[in-house]
């Protein structure tokens, strides 16, 4: 078990399952015997706005919130949202996992024209590893694009000191039976995608 | 002992259950809503949503005087509504335990202002407890009830957004059985306002006793460190202090009113510099200053605005070389859900070019592009009074817009006033059968209760007529022509008028679980006139060939796009009928 405190930030658009991703991560960390804290967002931002949640786990966790420039993993379920929170990643040791998927904000004028299609390149300015993934496409191929969050979880899991058994056990407990099998497939698909990525660092304990 | 990863708000609910609370009431408001939603699952506690916070407080007051333990919950601004009983109750004092949860929202995640309610408690002369994590959220409810009974006073438990909406590990206990206390009628205490003069010195005497208690309570905890730095802190900020200053000596104040003068004097004397780190206003800091203590670093360094974080505090202390720069990213304000019934109303209002006095709810988003059709928003129920005032200032064609729950909460007296004072008000009630913005809580016109039981359903149309409004019209909120026509007629009517646009919130379980046939774009018929894009439905995007395409999994079959399509190229098409998950 890892002694250091690990910090993860999940970012996305309200309705993408940002909260669920964070919750499953937190529960898997609890299952692994860690002290865990997690933030949630409720209220207005859940209406299609920008949503972020944080998970921290380790032997003793004080603050539930992560710090810009010091976060181990930033998981972006959407490109613009990954860009917005990219600076949270540690510039050297951090990892940004980004779903190569665009949701253009409906409540901004000329949003289509000013949307940052080059977000992934811009995130690389931070200096840390940026790993784009076609999570939405993978999820769609598995039958439902809304499982992109679970595909991303599978990928993220390869970078964290939480056992596969803890992840599977948590998914089994947390996902309703009707959706369980497809979500397990989505998780394993993300896991497989990230495992074969070049330049991937080993799990840091 | 069993532990569970628990949201601060759920821990508060669990704490109330364990401490033998029998009655709980409140009005939904972020970040307090989940407390009662959780309590609703404990059959031993009678939990309810009340019409507004004032009513909830008064019901709690009655129950506590009547002898049972009570929890009342509300967001920070809710206490403004309940301030009247809150300021008077401490004079009589309580019989059984009474804990008020005031959920403050530093950073205004989901609120119209920042307001540090510790000042309201001080004004009311009510003791304050401030938990620092989920475990304490649970434990402090029990402590609050004990204090409440020991000192015969209501107790405020102050949370903040980050505390209410963070999860941590909580160890669970069993429910305590608390016998009902006898209610002894006492005119001096409970009935005759003039006698409150007699009670007034007793309020001060009680505060003196609470001051003594504050010196020794275990929740005001000294953690000796090794460094020169001393920190006085409370609430979630305690966690941030431990994170960035693990060596510092910390005086953690779990009880922040009344404050322990001797403890603070002693602590400040033993350290060269004392940091006072508290979210919100300088409530603790100003008190320490009144003791003549000057070696403090507080709000001047850390600021009063917004939330604290370990990063912000470390930076203010000069522990970081430079701030991390954010990458430039366009904003993403929230917007109406796919299929939301408010869309037709705001596109109609935009078309009519009227002045709109808005209110508190999801429909505040009508002020944003693409609608930009809501011109004022202040507080619960303010839309009606503001419109009457705008009319007085010579503005014609003013429309008030208010949700069903907000109308019941604080709009009704203003509508009565509009009729009484001869206003030409046009009021639009967006009736979606729920309190939408806070996640869908039932209210008196929903037909169900917090615990999911069937409840009498207030008839809003009859209610409006009963106030004396002669022109009341109900329209299906997804019928563009009907909504627009009804608003036009109401504007043309001489005298006060009401339009009720009716249709359930798409987030309600009954809407999400119904079988629907999603809409589909027939590219053979579509002329790419782009009329459907003007509906601003997030489920409609463009194909590479320029055709609109509807995401079948997201479509709610609200029909609005089909209503605007001039060539009927959009129609229901059952590829596979999926329930909305």
Inter-chain residue contact B165 with A47, CB threshold 8 Å: no
Intra-chain end-to-end CA distance of chain B, in Å: 36
pLDDT for B417-460, tens place per residue? 999 999 999 999 999 999 999 999 999 999 999 999 999 999 99
Whether B300 contacts A13, CB under 8 Å: no
**Angstrom distance (rounded) from CA B253 to CA B267:** 12
Predicted confidence band of residue A15 (pLDDT cuts 50, 70, 90): confident
3-state secondary structure of B76: coil
**Angstrom distance (rounded) from CA B25 to CA B36:** 7
Does B60 have pLDDT greater than 90?
Answer: yes
Average pLDDT over chain A reads: 92
Does B579 have pLDDT greater than 60?
Answer: no
What pLDDT shows up at residue B576?
Answer: 55
Inter-chain residue contact A42 with B31, CB threshold 8 Å: yes
In terms of Cα–Cα distance, which of B269, B270, B289, B286 is closest to B278? B286
What pLDDT shows up at residue B541?
Answer: 87
Strand partners, B71: B24, B99
Inter-chain residue contact B5 with A27, CB threshold 8 Å: yes
Inter-chain residue contact A179 with B581, CB threshold 8 Å: yes
- List of chain B residues whose C-beta atoms are within 8 Å of the C-beta of residue A45: 109-110, 334
Radius of gyration of chain B (CA): 27
3-state secondary structure of B199: helix
Please tell me which residue, B574 or B205, carries the higher pLDDT value. Answer: B205
What is the percent of chain B with per-residue pLDDT over 90, rounded to a whole number?
91
Tokens representing A1 are 């078990």
Inter-chain residue contact A67 with B309, CB threshold 8 Å: yes
In this chain, the answer to whether the domains covering B342-511 and B515-572 adopt an identical fold is: no
Tokens representing A6 are 């690990």
B342-511 is classed CATH 3.40.50.970: yes
Q: In what order do the strands lie in the sheet with A129-133?
A: A129-133, A95-99, A73-76, A6-13, A50-58, A35-39, B166-171, B3-7
Tokens representing B40 are 């609703």
CB-hemisphere CA count at 13 Å for B521? 25
**Angstrom distance (rounded) from CA B484 to CA B66:** 51
What pLDDT shows up at residue A44?
Answer: 66
**Angstrom distance (rounded) from CA B261 to CA B556:** 60
Range B220-316: architecture per CATH: 3-Layer(aba) Sandwich (3.40)
Does A167 have pLDDT greater than 80?
Answer: yes
What pLDDT shows up at residue B581?
Answer: 41
**Angstrom distance (rounded) from CA B133 to CA B563:** 51
Task: Please tell me if residue B33 touches chain A, with a CB cutoff of 8 Å.
Answer: yes
B515-572: what CATH class? alpha beta
Task: Please tell me if residue A169 touches chain B, with a CB cutoff of 8 Å.
Answer: no
**Angstrom distance (rounded) from CA B232 to CA B229:** 10
Closest residue to B5, CB basis, from A26, A47, A49? A26
**Angstrom distance (rounded) from CA B572 to CA B557:** 7
What pLDDT shows up at residue B574?
Answer: 81
Predicted confidence band of residue A198 (pLDDT cuts 50, 70, 90): low
Does B383 have pLDDT greater than 90?
Answer: yes
What pLDDT shows up at residue A8?
Answer: 98
pLDDT for B17-52, tens place per residue? 999 999 999 999 999 999 999 999 999 999 999 999
Task: Please tell me if residue B325 touches chain A, with a CB cutoff of 8 Å.
Answer: yes
Which of A21, A31, A35, A40 has the most B C-beta neighbours within 10 Å, making it the best mutation to test the interface with B? A40
Which of A6, A32, A48 has the most B C-beta neighbours within 10 Å, making it the best mutation to test the interface with B? A48
What pLDDT shows up at residue A3?
Answer: 73
pLDDT for B494-519, tens place per residue? 999 999 999 999 999 999 999 999 99
pLDDT for B129-164, tens place per residue? 999 999 999 999 999 999 999 999 999 999 999 999
Inter-chain residue contact A42 with B30, CB threshold 8 Å: yes
- List of chain B residues whose C-beta atoms are within 8 Å of the C-beta of residue A64: 162, 166-168, 236, 239
Does B58 have pLDDT greater than 70?
Answer: yes
Q: Which residue has the tokens 């929230």?
A: B334
Does B120 have pLDDT greater than 50?
Answer: yes
Strands B166-171 vs B3-7: parallel, antiparallel or unpaired:
antiparallel
Which of B171, B277, B329, B362 has the most A C-beta neighbours within 10 Å, making it the best mutation to test the interface with A? B329
Domain ranges of chain A: 6-106+116-195
User: Per the omega criterion (within 30 degrees of 0), is the bond before A74 cis?
Assistant: no
**Angstrom distance (rounded) from CA B467 to CA B24:** 31
**Angstrom distance (rounded) from CA B424 to CA B402:** 17
By C-alpha distance, the chain A residue nearest B365 is: A107
Please report the residues numbered 337 through 396 in chain B whose beta carbons come closer than 8 angstroms to any beta carbon of chain A: 337, 362, 364-365, 368-370
Length of chain B: 581
Whether A108 contacts A44, CB under 8 Å: no
**Angstrom distance (rounded) from CA B239 to CA B130:** 13
**Angstrom distance (rounded) from CA B181 to CA B97:** 10
**Angstrom distance (rounded) from CA A93 to CA A116:** 25
**Angstrom distance (rounded) from CA B242 to CA A64:** 12
CA distances (Å), A31 to each of A1, A39, A72, A152, A186, in order? Answer: 12, 18, 20, 20, 21
By C-alpha distance, the chain B residue nearest A118 is: B329
Does A201 have pLDDT greater than 70?
Answer: no
pLDDT for B388-411, tens place per residue? 999 999 998 999 999 999 999 999
Strands B497-502 vs B471-476: parallel, antiparallel or unpaired:
parallel
In this prediction the ipTM stands at 0.94
What pLDDT shows up at residue B575?
Answer: 66
- List of chain B residues whose C-beta atoms are within 8 Å of the C-beta of residue A46: 334, 439
What pLDDT shows up at residue B544?
Answer: 87
Handedness of CA B12, B15, B21, B22 (dihedral sign): positive
DSSP 8-state code for residue B245: -
Does A203 have pLDDT greater than 60?
Answer: no
Long-range contacts of B84-87 (CB under 8 A, 24+ apart): B84/B54, B85/B54, B85/B57, B85/B58, B85/B61, B86/B57, B86/B120, B86/B124, B86/B126, B86/B154, B87/B123, B87/B124
What pLDDT shows up at residue A1?
Answer: 65
Q: Please name the fold of domain A6-106+116-195.
A: Pyruvate-ferredoxin Oxidoreductase; domain 3 (3.40.920)
What pLDDT shows up at residue A87?
Answer: 97
What pLDDT shows up at residue B336?
Answer: 92
Task: Please tell me if residue A165 touches chain B, with a CB cutoff of 8 Å.
Answer: no
Residues 6+ apart with CB under 8 A from A90: A69, A70, A71, A72, A128
Lowest mean pLDDT among A94-108, A140-154, B342-356, B466-480: A94-108
Intra-chain end-to-end CA distance of chain A, in Å: 7
Strand partners, A180: none
φ/ψ of A60, rounded to 5, equals: -145, 120
φ/ψ of B168, rounded to 5, equals: -150, 170
Query: Nearest C-alpha of chain A: how many angstroms from B212?
Result: 30
Pick the CATH number of B3-216 from 3.40.50.1000, 3.40.50.970, 3.20.20.140, 3.40.190.10: 3.40.50.970
Tokens representing B191 are 């009935």
DSSP 8-state code for residue B365: G
**Angstrom distance (rounded) from CA B370 to CA A108:** 7
User: Per the omega criterion (within 30 degrees of 0), is the bond before B370 cis?
Assistant: yes
Inter-chain residue contact B331 with A50, CB threshold 8 Å: yes
Mean pLDDT confidence for B174-192? 93
Tokens representing A40 are 């949630």
DSSP 8-state code for residue B324: P
Closest residue to A87, CB basis, from B31, B239, B326? B326
What pLDDT shows up at residue A205?
Answer: 46
Inter-chain residue contact A107 with B31, CB threshold 8 Å: no
Closest residue to B165, CB basis, from A42, A62, A146? A42
Does B580 have pLDDT greater than 50?
Answer: no
Please tell me which residue, A200 or B162, carries the higher pLDDT value. Answer: B162
**Angstrom distance (rounded) from CA A70 to CA A101:** 25
Closest residue to A50, CB basis, from B30, B33, B332? B332
Task: Please tell me if residue B308 touches chain A, with a CB cutoff of 8 Å.
Answer: no
Residues 6+ apart with CB under 8 A from A179: B581
Q: Give the number of beta-carbon pairs within 8 Å between A and B.
A: 166
pLDDT for A47-78, tens place per residue? 788 999 999 999 999 999 999 999 999 999 99
Strands A129-133 vs B519-521: parallel, antiparallel or unpaired:
unpaired
What pLDDT shows up at residue B335?
Answer: 87
Handedness of CA A18, A24, A29, A30 (dihedral sign): positive
Inter-chain residue contact B336 with A47, CB threshold 8 Å: yes
Task: Please tell me if residue A182 touches chain B, with a CB cutoff of 8 Å.
Answer: no
Tokens representing B489 are 């007629």
Question: Which DSSP string do the residues of chain A spell out, in sequence order?
Answer: ---SPEEEEEEEETTSSHHHHHHHHHHHHHHTT-EEEEE---SGGGTTSEEEEEEEEESS---SS--TT-BSEEEESSHHHHHHHGGGB-TTT-EEEEE------TTSTTHHHH--TTHHHHHGGG-SEEEEE-HHHHHHHTT-GGGHHHHHHHHHHTTSS--HHHHHHHHHHHS-HHHHHHHHHHHHHHHHHHHT-TTPPPPP-
Residues 6+ apart with CB under 8 A from B322: none
Average pLDDT over chain B reads: 95
pLDDT for B282-336, tens place per residue? 999 999 999 999 999 999 999 999 999 999 999 999 988 777 889 999 999 888 9
């Amino acid at each position: 078990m890892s002694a250091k405190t690990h910090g993860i930030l999940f970012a996305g658009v309200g309705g993408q399952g940002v909260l669920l991703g964070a919750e499953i991560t937190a529960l898997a960390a609890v299952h692994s015997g860690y002290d865990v804290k997690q933030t949630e967002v409720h209220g207005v931002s859940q209406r299609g706005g920008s949503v972020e949640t944080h998970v921290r786990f380790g032997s003793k966790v004080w603050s539930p919130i992560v710090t810009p420039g010091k976060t181990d993993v930033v998981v972006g379920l959407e490109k613009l949202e990954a860009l917005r929170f990219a600076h949270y990643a540690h510039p050297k040791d951090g990892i940004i996992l980004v779903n190569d998927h665009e949701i253009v904000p409906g409540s901004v004028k000329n949003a289509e024209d000013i949307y940052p299609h080059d977000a992934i390149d811009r995130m690389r300015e931070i200096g840390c590893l940026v790993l784009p993934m076609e999570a939405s496409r993978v999820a769609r191929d598995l039958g439902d694009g809304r499982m992109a969050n679970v595909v991303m979880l599978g990928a993220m899991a390869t970078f964290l000191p939480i056992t596969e058994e803890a992840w599977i056990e948590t998914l089994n407990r947390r996902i309703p039976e009707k959706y369980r099998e497809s979500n397990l497939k989505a998780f394993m698909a993300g896991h497989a995608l990230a495992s074969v990525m070049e330049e991937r660092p080993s799990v840091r304990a | 002992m069993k532990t569970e990863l628990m949201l601060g708000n759920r821990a508060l609910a669990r704490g109330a259950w364990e401490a033998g609370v029998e009655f709980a009431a409140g009005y939904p408001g972020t970040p307090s809503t989940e407390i009662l939603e959780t309590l609703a699952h404990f059959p031993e506690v009678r939990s309810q949503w009340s019409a507004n916070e004032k009513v909830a407080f008064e019901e709690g007051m009655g129950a506590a005087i009547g002898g049972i333990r009570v929890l009342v919950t509300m967001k920070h601004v809710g206490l403004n509504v309940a301030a009247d009983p809150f300021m008077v109750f401490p004079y009589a004092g309580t019989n059984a335990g009474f804990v008020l949860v005031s959920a403050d929202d530093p950073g205004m995640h989901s609120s119209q202002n920042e307001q540090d309610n510790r000042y309201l408690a001080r004004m009311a002369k009510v003791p304050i407890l401030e938990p620092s994590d989920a475990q304490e959220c649970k434990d402090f409810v029990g402590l609050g009830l004990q204090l409440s009974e020991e000192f015969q006073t209501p107790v405020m438990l102050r949370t903040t957004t980050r505390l209410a909406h963070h999860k941590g590990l909580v160890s669970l206990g069993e429910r305590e059985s608390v016998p009902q206390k006898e209610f002894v009628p006492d005119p001096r205490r409970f009935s005759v306002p003039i006698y409150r003069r007699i009670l007034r010195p007793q309020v001060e005497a009680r505060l003196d006793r609470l001051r003594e208690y504050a010196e020794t309570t275990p929740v005001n905890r000294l953690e000796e460190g090794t460094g020169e730095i001393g920190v006085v802190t409370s609430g979630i900020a305690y966690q941030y202090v431990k994170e960035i200053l693990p060596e510092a000596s910390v005086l953690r104040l779990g009880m922040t009113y009344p404050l322990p003068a001797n403890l603070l004097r002693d602590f400040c004397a033993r350290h060269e510099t004392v940091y006072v780190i508290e979210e919100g206003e300088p409530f603790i800091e100003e008190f320490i200053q009144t003791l003549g203590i000057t070696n403090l670093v507080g709000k001047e360094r850390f600021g009063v605005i917004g939330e604290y974080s370990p990063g912000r505090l470390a930076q203010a202390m000069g522990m970081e070389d430079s701030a991390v720069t954010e990458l430039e990213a366009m904003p993403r304000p929230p917007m109406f859900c796919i299929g939301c019934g408010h869309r037709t109303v705001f596109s109609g209002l935009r078309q009519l070019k009227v002045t709109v006095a808005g209110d508190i709810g999801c429909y505040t988003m009508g002020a944003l592009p693409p609608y930009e059709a809501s011109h004022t928003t202040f507080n619960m129920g303010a839309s009606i009074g503001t419109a009457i005032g705008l009319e007085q200032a010579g503005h014609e064609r003013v429309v008030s817009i208010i949700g069903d729950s907000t109308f019941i909460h604080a709009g009704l007296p203003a509508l009565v006033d509009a009729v009484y004072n001869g206003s030409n008000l046009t009021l639009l009630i967006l009736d979606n059968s729920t309190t939408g913005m806070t996640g869908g809580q039932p209210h008196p016109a929903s037909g169900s209760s917090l615990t999911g039981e069937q409840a009498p359903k207030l008839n809003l149309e009859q209610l409006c007529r009963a106030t004396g409004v002669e022109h009341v019209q109900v329209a299906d909120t997804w019928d563009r022509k009907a909504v627009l026509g009804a608003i036009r007629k109401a504007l043309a009517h001489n005298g006060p008028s009401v339009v009720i646009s009716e249709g359930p919130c798409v987030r309600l379980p009954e809407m999400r679980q119904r079988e629907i046939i999603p809409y589909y774009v027939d590219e053979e018929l579509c002329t790419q006139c782009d009329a459907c894009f003007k509906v601003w439905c997030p489920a409609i995007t463009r194909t590479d060939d320029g055709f609109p395409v509807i995401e079948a999994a997201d479509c709610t079959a609200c029909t609005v796009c089909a209503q605007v399509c001039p060539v009927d190229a959009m129609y229901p098409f059952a590829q596979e009928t999926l329930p909305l998950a």
